[in-house]
Amino acid sequence: MVDDALQLLAKMIDIGISPDIVTYCSMLQGLCNSGRWKDAKDLISGMVDHKISLNVFTFNILVDAFCKEGMVKEAEDVVEIMMQRNVPPDVVTYNALIDGYSLVGQIEKAIKLLDSMPGMGLKPCIISYSSLINGYCKKGRIEEAWHLFLEVPRKGLEYNVVTYNTMLHGLFRAGRRADGLKLFKDMQAQQLIPNLVTYNTLLGGLCMNKHIAEAFSLLHIMQDQGVNPDIITYRVLIHGLCKAGKLETARISSMTFLQKGCNPMSRYIQPLLVRFVKKDL
């Protein structure tokens, strides 16, 4: 698909049709999503050659793509080029960097960046806070994540499902099941509708602590709410059963999942069953 788009772009130029900034940005997004950094660089050079002004949207595509790949140094270099070209970073730029720093564990840089936003005339949004909360959770700094979570409404912002999912994952990962379940109830009280990620996070937390019956009860609630399980859901449940030593139940459940359209002998689930069976022997 990307190669076809590149060929079409080249053909447009050959017949005298000048692609606009929107066309170039769409192409750049596709290249970045495919990890084709050299082609992306060549495309940027082509934009400059054709007198296409690089704007904040163009640069944000690069910053976001680099950050998602953990290539924060490259993202910083792009921001430096933005400044040199008098293209000021916006909230999207900062959010991408905060997320990037959080993903690679450079939490102090993420904090510093968030704190610097008001001085740049930018107001942090819920995405900014969600990314930093995720960074704290990944580093095991749950109390700081929780403190920042509580700050959200004080900053005049509203929680969204992603913010709750992030905090839920952090709490369960830290073994704080009771706090996680309490937060889930609070999420529902806020009229936020749990999604598949929410339920998979809850199921993972319950199975991690060997609350298998509670996990399967939640699975039924989830389905009653119209949220269909995916391969991750089934993998979490099978893993939980195996970890709890319920190998026969895991085998039976895997067959039940097969009847519902999930192949329990997929590359995700089969290794779990084999590993735990060998361990049991």
Q: How far apart are CA 133 and CA 137, in angstroms?
A: 6
d(CA 254, CA 249): 8
Contact 107, 74 (CB under 8 A): no
DSSP 54-115: P-HHHHHHHHHHHHHTT-HHHHHHHHHHHHHTT----HHHHHHHHHHHHHTT-HHHHHHHHH
Distance separating alpha carbons of residues 55 and 82, to the nearest angstrom: 9
Mean pLDDT of 254-280: 60
Convert the pLDDT of each residue in 10-36 to its tens digit. 777 778 777 788 888 888 888 888 888
φ, ψ for residue 135, nearest 5 deg: -60, -45
CA distances from 140 to 137, 145, 197 (A): 5, 9, 20
Confidence category of residue 178, pLDDT binned at 50, 70, 90:
very high
pLDDT value at residue 243: 83
Task: Determine the straight-line distance between the first and last CA of the chain, rounded to whole angstroms.
Answer: 49
Per the document, the length of the chain is 281
| pTM score of the predicted model | 0.83
d(CA 222, CA 166): 19
CA dihedral 208, 211, 217, 223 (to 10 degrees): 0
**Per-residue pLDDT at 281 exceeds 50:** no
pLDDT at residue number 273:
56
Percent of the chain at pLDDT exceeding 90: 61
pLDDT tens readout for residues 81-132? 999 999 999 999 999 999 999 999 999 999 999 999 999 999 999 999 999 9
